[in-house]
Amino acid sequence: MLQTLNVVLLVLLIVTALTACLHRNLLVAVLMLSVFSLVMGLVWVMLRAPDLALAEVVAVGVVTTVFFVVTIFRTQRREG
Amino acid sequence: MKKAVTLIFIGGLAAALLYTVALLPPMGDADNPTNRHIVPRYHERGEEEAGTGNLVAAVILNYRGYDTMVEVTIFSAALAGIFAVLGTVRKRINRSYIDRAGVRFSFISGTTVLLLMPLIIVFSAYTILYGTDLPGGGFQGGAAIGAGVMISSVAYGFHRAQRRLSHHVRIILESTAISAFFVVGTVGVIGGAAFLTYMLPALTPGSQSVLRTVMLLVLQFGIGIKVGIICTSILFALMMEEDTSDVEHAS
């Protein structure tokens, strides 16, 4: 059971990371990065590192995402 | 040609990295070099020496206290760099695109933030207070309260948030962590030990542990408030805009 969950989480990690890298819409990429860090938090919990999981979800998942979103809204887009 | 060279280089790098990963010892093995060097000491005597149930907090605040102390000043350096690049604080600008937008903030997002805020505050206070014995601590709790302030200032507009948390208040709160480290370290020096040692030998062993708990709490709260305020300040600096109304009139 835990093994299956682990595999699912790791596959999700790869998918979200690739989407964040390859997607042309920056907003989608940033939100994918947020999803990546939430999944990564779950992986940290499974690796028995709850401290790291909290820091990952709160700092990377929320704070950095808001910074990126604000920056995207404040900059202009040059490329279609 | 250029692409082929890049591809070969990246492919070689990936192969080398994967080969190195394959050579690493199995994850979580008790016989790993990292687990044999200093970790047994933490496991055996950490609780008694550091006085915390959470060994991560023991390492962060006690065994590696200097590390954390310098680390929190890095946050201040990052904030100073952001202010230097954006340069909006100096000009006393306090408007943002959210306030400039013709649409008022959405009722749904405002109500959601109102309902979530108390939960976020309680969660972050709990994380900071119990950080010495349970997973969590100053950084996590501070980032949580910072995230709460961030979502509320995004939902309700920068102008209202700025009025409640003015620049002067933030400047004072930004230095709480280093002040907490200074106070705690000085108490250790007065007690006759090195800087950042949590002791006062004149006390009885019973009150010694109480003092240590109080000092750890002071540190946790200092770090928490500082991290939360730094997150808020960076967001405010990003949201501030230069006043372009004159330019718009001219064009």
Q: Write out pLDDT tens, residues B127-147.
A: 999 888 888 888 899 999 999
Those residues with Cβ within 8 angstroms of residue B45's Cβ, 6 or more apart along the chain or in another chain: none
Query: How confident is the model over B35-39, as a mean pLDDT?
Result: 79
- Say if A10 falls within a structural domain: yes
- Joined together, the tokens standing for residue A28 give 């989608």
Domain ranges, residue B68: 55-241
Task: Respond yes or no on whether ipTM tops 0.85.
Answer: no
B110-119: long-range contacts, CB 8 A cutoff, minimum separation 24: B110/B155, B110/B156, B112/B155, B113/B151, B113/B152, B113/B155, B113/B156, B116/B148, B116/B151, B117/B148, B117/B152
Q: Which residue out of A30, A51, A73 would a mutagenesis test of the B interface target, given it has the greatest number of B Cβ atoms within 10 Å?
A: A51
- Say if A80 falls within a structural domain: no
Q: Chain A residues with CB inside 8 Å of B223's CB?
A: none
CB contact under 8 A, A66 and B135: no
**Cα distances (angstroms) measured from residue A53 to each of A44, A46, A66, B83, B135:** 5, 9, 19, 30, 9
CB contact under 8 A, B143 and A63: yes
- Say if B139 falls within a structural domain: yes
- Say if B189 falls within a structural domain: yes
Query: How confident is the model over A23-35, as a mean pLDDT?
Result: 91
Q: How far apart are CA B94 and CA B172, in angstroms?
A: 19
Domain ranges, residue A56: 2-74
Residue B198 DSSP code: -
Return the closest-CA partner of residue B65 out of B214, B193, B219. B219
- Say if A79 falls within a structural domain: no
Query: How confident is the model over A33-49, as a mean pLDDT?
Result: 92
- Say if B13 falls within a structural domain: no
CB contact under 8 A, A63 and B140: no
pLDDT value at position B249? 42
Q: Work out how many domains chain B is built from and give that number.
A: 1
- Joined together, the tokens standing for residue A52 give 């790291």
Q: Work out how many domains chain A is built from and give that number.
A: 1
Q: Chain A residues with CB inside 8 Å of B139's CB?
A: 55, 59
Per-residue 3-state assignment (H helix, E strand, C coil) for B82-106? HHHHHCCCCCCCCCEHHHHCCCCCC
- Say if A18 falls within a structural domain: yes
